[in-house]
Amino acid sequence: MNQDVLLHIDGRWIEGSSNQTIPVINPATEEVVGTAAKAERADLEQAVAAAVRGFQIWRHVSAFERGKIMRNAAVLIRERAEQIARAMTIEEGKPLAQARLETLSGADMIEWFAEEGRRVYGRVIPARTSGVYQLALREPVGPVAAFTPWNFPISQVVKKLGAALATGCSIIIKAAEETPASAAALVQAFTDAGIPAGVINLVFGVPAEISEYLITHPSIRKVSFTGSTAIGKRLASLAGLHMKRVTMELGGHAPAIIFDDADLETATTLLLAAKYRNAGQVCIAPTRFLIQENVYENFVDGFVGRTKALRVGNGLDEATEMGPLAHDRRIAAVESVIQDAVDKGASVKAGGRRFGNKGYFMEPTVITEAPSDALAMNVEPFGPIALLTPFRNFAEAVSEANRLPYGLAAYAFTRSAKTAIDVAAAVETGMISINQTGLALPETPFVGVKDSGYGAEGGSEGIDAYVNTKFVSQAGV
Ligand code: NAD
């Protein structure tokens, strides 16, 4: 299957002006399966000009009409879900079932934003003088530059695209060079659904060159980035220098606190699925498993056993439960944090090694007794590594949960209503899921605090990030 992807600028699919391309590699086979066209500065200039024109058209289309086009795109994505999911598995590695789910949830997200766009209400503020109207209106912020990573090639794009389109913004998406075909399929669905030229533009290239150009460009009014905290801080400071609205969805290192009154079977099943989904390359993946000491051995035994039983393989095989890592950089990073933990006295209870003679396959790994200065306990491992640590009491668990500068997701399992309320209040995090792992629905805010970023994606909060407030004070003449 060949997955050559062009740039989408001003409603047309075009080669980059240099005709250069970036190879796309199937992480399960290491074969080149396609290319992404590389945008040069001249292409980016065209993309900005197109987005400016697109904005002038789209902002004047009513939310009702915008919603119709968005819903049509969602229908097309559902019709094409099988084809899109296969392309995603081939370029990213995740099992087909996960790719299908992501594609269908993408359609769901677009539909939700299509509806929510009709509810971008302003306010009428009572005036101090009779005959005066005071209106707080909400206007689209303008052309958006969005930078999305490879781990969820559809979801990461639709959160930004859905909110931008619903509010009347145009957008330039710099999608991941590793996973261009999924993003292209999404854009094609909107094109086929009748989105006007210039409203959605898609580029690939050298990420730093593109972000530097787009973020500093005066016509770009909003920047949204999902990726590592290190890059996010760099882009946020550049955006700050140029006074741009920013949403930053950055790294995490989620604690999963299992209290001794928890339903261990439920906790094991849900956390196992959440940990190894997309081979652990998920910013909200549970990573530091904190387990109350009197159920620790029990939980470790169950979790290790279930981890060892996971079927790892090519995501195109329907029996596969965990695919390869998405690229070779992740293999090197994951191997180095495991080695570092072992060097510092940790014990590997399951997995720990790369395997196979082709593809970026890593065994699902469980580590116990990792000291708090082990790299894995501090940097986002972004791979299939679960770190299991016992704790004595509530205060100790919360102190460990809050030790890191990250604050994206957290999980807790307990049968006590009081513990559930206390832990939700005590953990410094943007999201916490208790006795389940339900995060990232279209209607709920997806949000980080501390070094995990700021600004929500999803929910009505996700809409707020794409609108400006304009105050109009008017008297009769
Ligand atoms: P990376 O930091 O090079 O890239 C991460 C993403 O940021 C990629 O999509 C890349 O294209 C983009 N990027 C990098 N430099 C950029 C720049 N100057 N301007 C604009 N975009 C830029 O590393 P990687 O090996 O791809 O991933 C490593 C780390 O990134 C992971 O360990 C994880 O912490 C983080 N990450 C987070 C998410 C997330 O969902 N929050 C997704 C992917 C990667």
Parallel, antiparallel, or unpaired: how do β-strands 222-226 and 245-249 relate? parallel
Handedness of CA 463, 469, 470, 472 (dihedral sign): positive
- Å from CA of 72 to ligand 1 middle: 31
- The 3-state DSSP class for residue 194 equals coil
Measured CA angle at 217 (ends 211, 221), to 5 deg: 95
Amino acid at site 447: V
pLDDT, position 476: 85
CA angle 15, 18, 22 (to 5 degrees): 70
Centre of ligand 1 to C-alpha 374, Å, is 22
Please report the atom of ligand 1 found closest to the CA of residue 382: 32
Q: What is the DSSP letter of 1?
A: -
278: which DSSP letter? G
Ligand 1 binding pocket includes 238 (Cβ within 6 Å): no
Q: Looking at ligand 1, which atom is closest to the CA of residue 150?
A: 9
pTM above 0.85, yes or no: yes
Strand ranges in 148-273 using DSSP code E only, listed in sequence order:
171-174, 200-203, 222-226, 245-249, 254-258
CB burial class (10 A; 0-12, 13-18, 19+) of residue 233? middle
Q: Which of 381, 396, 275, 289 is nearest to 338 (CA)?
A: 381
pLDDT at 395: 98
- Contacts of residue 347, defined as CB under 8 A and 6 or more positions apart, other chains included, come to 367, 368, 369
User: pLDDT tens digits, the chain, 477 residues: what are they?
Assistant: 567 999 999 999 999 999 999 999 999 999 999 999 999 999 999 999 999 999 999 999 999 999 999 999 999 999 999 999 999 999 999 999 999 999 999 999 999 999 999 999 999 999 999 999 999 999 999 999 999 999 999 999 999 999 999 999 999 999 999 999 999 999 999 999 999 999 999 999 999 999 999 999 999 999 999 999 999 999 999 999 999 999 999 999 999 999 999 999 999 999 999 999 999 999 999 999 999 999 999 999 999 999 999 999 999 999 999 999 999 999 999 999 999 999 999 999 999 999 998 999 999 999 999 999 999 999 999 999 999 999 999 999 999 999 999 999 999 999 999 999 999 999 999 999 999 998 999 999 999 999 999 999 999 999 999 999 999 999 987
Cβ atoms 113, 164 nearer than 8 A: no
Q: Which residue is closest in CA terms to ligand 1's atom 29?
A: 228
**Three-state SS at 310:** coil
CA 355/CA 331 separation, integer angstroms: 11
Q: Which atom of ligand 1 is nearest to the CA of 380?
A: 34
Q: Whose CA is nearest to atom 39 of ligand 1?
A: 227
d(CA 146, CA 247): 9
**Residue 177 structure tokens:** 């060079």
Distance 227 CA to ligand 1 centre (A): 4
Q: Give the Å distance between the CA of 439 and the centre of ligand 1.
A: 21
Residue pair 66/168 in contact (Cβ under 8 Å)? The answer is yes
Q: How far is the CA of 9 from the centre of ligand 1 (A)?
A: 24
**By the 8 A CB rule, do 62 and 203 touch?**
no
Q: Kind and range of the H or E element at 358?
A: none
**CB neighbour class for 357 (10 Å; exposed up to 12, middle 13-18, buried from 19):** exposed
* Count of CB atoms situated within 10 Å of the CB of 327: 19
Q: Whose CA is nearest to atom 1 of ligand 1?
A: 228
CA-closest residue to ligand 1 atom 7: 227
227 close to ligand 1 (CB < 6 Angstrom): yes
**Which is the closest atom of ligand 1 to the Cα of 327?**
25
Query: What spacing in Å lies between the alpha carbon of 397 and ligand 1's midpoint?
Result: 30
Positions marked active-site: 249, 283
Cβ atoms of residues 258 and 289 within 8 Å = yes
| Token couple for 125 | 């503020």
Q: Which residues contact 150 (CB under 8 A, 6 or more apart)?
A: 92, 176, 177, 178, 179, 326, 327
Q: Which protein residue's CA is at the shortest distance from atom 14 of ligand 1?
A: 207
As a whole number of Å, the end-to-end CA separation of the chain is 67
Does 287 sit in the ligand 1 pocket, CB within 6 Å?
Answer: no
Q: Which atom of ligand 1 is nearest to the CA of 250?
A: 41
Query: What pLDDT, on a 0 to 100 scale, did the predictor assign at position 2?
Result: 61
Of 202, 231, 327, 337, the residue with max ligand 1 atoms within 8 A of its CB, to mutate for a pocket test, comes to 231
Q: What is the pLDDT of residue 3?
A: 79
Protein residue whose Cα sits closest to atom 5 of ligand 1: 227
Nearest CA to ligand 1 atom 40: 283
Q: Is 387 in the pocket of ligand 1 (CB under 6 A)?
A: no
Residue 35 beta carbon below 6 angstroms from any ligand 1 atom:
no
Domains of the chain, CATH where assigned: 3-250+452-473 (3.40.605.10), 254-442 (3.40.309.10)
Please tell me the distance from the alpha carbon of residue 285 to that of residue 296, in angstroms, as a whole number. 20
Residue of 179, 214, 228 best suited for mutating to test ligand 1, as the one with most atoms within 8 Å of CB: 228
Distance 327 CA to ligand 1 centre (A): 12
- Is the CB of 176 within 6 Å of ligand 1? yes
